[in-house]
Every structure is written in structure tokens, then in C-alpha cells.
Structure 1
Amino acid sequence: MEEQRLSSPLIRVVDDDKSVRVALLDLFKSIDLNAIAYDSPRALLEADDLDTPGCIVLDVRFSGTSGLDFQSDLQQAGNRMPIIVVTGHGDIPMSVRAMKAGAIDFLTKPFREQDLIDAVTGAIKRDELIRAESQGRSNIEKLWESLTPREVEVMRAVVNGYMNKQIAGQLGISMVTVKLHRSNVMKKMRARSVADLVKKAEFLAQK
């Protein structure tokens, strides 16, 4: 394992060619990007929990395993870190498979340094968005869990477009009680409007 610096975001280079690893670390260092390199997918998994934001620059061929196997393992584990596949001239079909399996880009060796920089920059931004979305969903789930069963019923009715009078009739409660529950829902869900509440409900539906 070779490393440049270990602050976020972090680029993980996975390649069994030491000269490639060193060259890429030097490249990323020259433009002030943090990177660390591993000689195999197994080495990465043993040393890195992938909690630090960033991306993976992955060669597809290794002895005993393949980059595609590694990519599949990450997917099965629910890890959505962006992967940039790097391939030799004879590995184009494998790269196509990698793209279909979720890799965000692939480069054929030898590649232009700027192409790799552009791919990595885009991957890091994508990872930041993925993590922000995940954190946002987690926060919404916590708000949802604070609702009482009755407030959950009222929220579902509100986001489905029912008026207070209709909700009262459906749930067999008074209009005053509906308004009270509705107010509590808006406060607990930190919703600025019904439209905002609907958006949060859509987040919850994506679980």
C-alpha cells in the first residue's frame, strides 16, 4: 500500500502494477488531490472501510480475482462509492460489463492524464451527492419515527391530497383534532409547506 495523504475526499487506486500506482499518486499529488494505492482489491478491503468520501480507480485484471468481482462484492454490500474502471486494450468487453454493473466511467491504457483527472473529479462530486442524499434520508427517517401512529395516518392523508374535512371523516375524528395532528406533523417533520412534506414522504417511499 502506498499513500499520499489521508484526508477527505480520498481517491483509492487499485492496480497490481507498482509503477502505475506510483505514477497516479504523483499525478494526484501534483493537483492537490488526496490518494492512497493498493496492489489488489483484497488489500483495499482489508485496510479501508470506505467511510471516507471519494472514489475508486480500479484496474479490472488481477491474479486470483477481477475488478468486476470486487465491484460486485461492493454492490452486494450496499456500498455506492463511484468506481472508475481502468483497462488494457484487450479488456473492452470487460469494461462494458463494468459500466453495466454500475461503474461511472472507464479509461483504456494508456490514457490522458486530464481524462483521468476529469473522471476522478466527477466521481468525487457524485460521491458527495450520494452521501448527502443518504444523510438527508437518514434525517428524514428519524423525523418520521418521532410521529405517533395517528400522526402517521394524518401525514399519509395529507400527502395524498385529502382536505382536513375528508381526513376527519376517514379517521373518525373531529376537524379540530385533525388540525392539531396536522400541525404536529408539520413541526415534527420540519416541513415548511405541504409540498415540502410530500417531498419528504417521497424520500421515505424510496427506502
Structure 2
Amino acid sequence: MSTVFLCDDDPGVRGALAFLLRQHGFQVQAHASGPELLAAIDTLAAPVRGVFLLDVRMEPMSGPELHEQLIARGLKERNPVIFLSGHADVPLVVAAMRRGAVTFLEKPYADEALVAQLHEALAREADWQAEGRRADFLAGLWQDLTPQQARVATLVAEGDANKTIARKLAISERMVEVHRARVFERLGVDSAAAVATTVEKLRSRGLLGQAAPAS
């Protein structure tokens, strides 16, 4: 089950929020500071499941500073972040949203608005987690390609015809066909468009690593 990781350095606000969210069926971990939350996150097995609900103005680490630390831990893509902010904090939050935060609620906010935003964020997190697992699976398949197969796959994804690939790689067109068929088989696809989709998905997540060495 996904968790709402709540961080607010005001004990009264933190306690009230945790109580409210648990009353609405959320699983909550409440933390008094950014360092405390990060220490808790570092003990969890990857992938971390959940969303982050962060106050903007905290000591010794602000909400945006905590957000940067979460990004550094690779949590940006799969874990939505919601900020709770005062009116004067809006420029800070807008900057954080450019760094991947999902949204913010300006104080005072209605309980119903917070609950609705959390449900939406958790639904998005579930989609991201599923997509991330699929990308990790595809990355494993990519690792099984030989370097030459990976080069062929990349050129197929760019839309090159077999004849063009053969010229670029200085191999026969027949060998391109062999590599291409092997790429399709290993990646579990049946079209050049599907290869292109796979390559783009891996590239966008920084997972387009080196293929296996030729045996």
C-alpha cells in the first residue's frame, strides 16, 4: 500500500494533518523535519511507494530543499510531491513545480481539497510505478542485446531502412536483417514503431545503457 509521507515542523499542524488523513483511510508517516524524513526514506527498500506532502517553510531544511534531496535520491519520476504553502511562498513553489512537484495547496485550504489532491496524486503514483516497472523490464531486455544489435535497434528507432543501416554500420544488408529479427525477438516487439517506442521510453528515463558484450 502506498504511503503519504507528511513533513511539517509544527507539531500541532503535523498531528492534525496525520489524524485527518488517517481518518480518510490514508497510510501516513509523519515527520518533523526534512532530515528525519530522508533518514526514514533511506531505510526503505526501493522502489519507495507513496507521495510526499511537504510544508514549504521548515527548519532546518525547507520544503523545496527537501524536494531537491528527494530528486537526488531518484524519487522525482515515481513519487508525486504536494506542497502546503502560504501566499508569500508561491514563487518558491512555482520554482519547485518546474522541478517536478505536482501541485500546491495555499493555506488556508479545505480538508476536502487536500484529500482530493492526495487521491489524485496516489492514482498518478500508481501509474508511474507501473510504467517504471515496465521501463525497468525493458531495460533488462536491452541489456541482453549485443552491442551490434543495440546499434541496429537504435537506427531502426530513428527510422533508417535496412540498406541505410548496412551502410552506416559497414555490414551486409542480410546481416542487418538478422540483427533486426533478433532485436524484435529479444524486445518482444513486432514493428519498427514498437522499437522506436521502447528506445524513447528507455532514453527518457536514462535507462538506455550499454548492451551486453558480444559473446
Verify: 1:35 aligned to 2:28, yes or no: yes
Compared with structure 1, are the counterparts of its residues 162 and 99 closer, same or farther at alpha carbon in structure 2 (3 Å cutoff)? closer
Q: TM-score, normalization: structure 1?
A: 0.83
Aligned CA distance change for structure 1 residues 168 and 64 (closer, same or farther; 3 Å): closer
Q: What is the one-letter code of the residue matched to 2:53?
A: V
For the structure 1 residues 14 and 167, does the alpha-carbon distance in structure 2 shift closer, same or farther, using more than 3 Å as the test?
Answer: closer
Counterpart of 1:64 in structure 2 is 60
Q: Identity over aligned residues, as a percent?
A: 34
Query: 4+ runs of 1 displaced by more than 6 Å?
Result: none
Match of 1:129 among 122, 127, 142: 127
Equivalent AA in structure 1 for residue 110 of structure 2: R
Structure 1 residue 114 and structure 2 residue 112: aligned? yes
Amino acid at match of 1:64: P
Does residue 18 of structure 1 match 2:11?
Answer: yes
- Residue among 193, 196, 200 paired with 2:194: 196
1:1-207 aligned at under 5 Å gives the runs 8-49=1-42, 51-80=47-76, 81-206=79-204, 207=206
Size of the aligned set, in residue pairs, is: 200
Decide which structure has the larger Cα Rg and report it: 1
Query: How large is the RMSD of aligned CA atoms in angstroms?
Result: 2.3
TM-score calculated relative to the size of structure 2: 0.80
Unaligned runs of 5+ in 2: 207-215
1:91 and 1:185 map into 2 onto residues whose CA distance is 51
> How far is 1:55 from its partner?
0.8
Contact 1:13 1:21 in 2 (8 A): yes
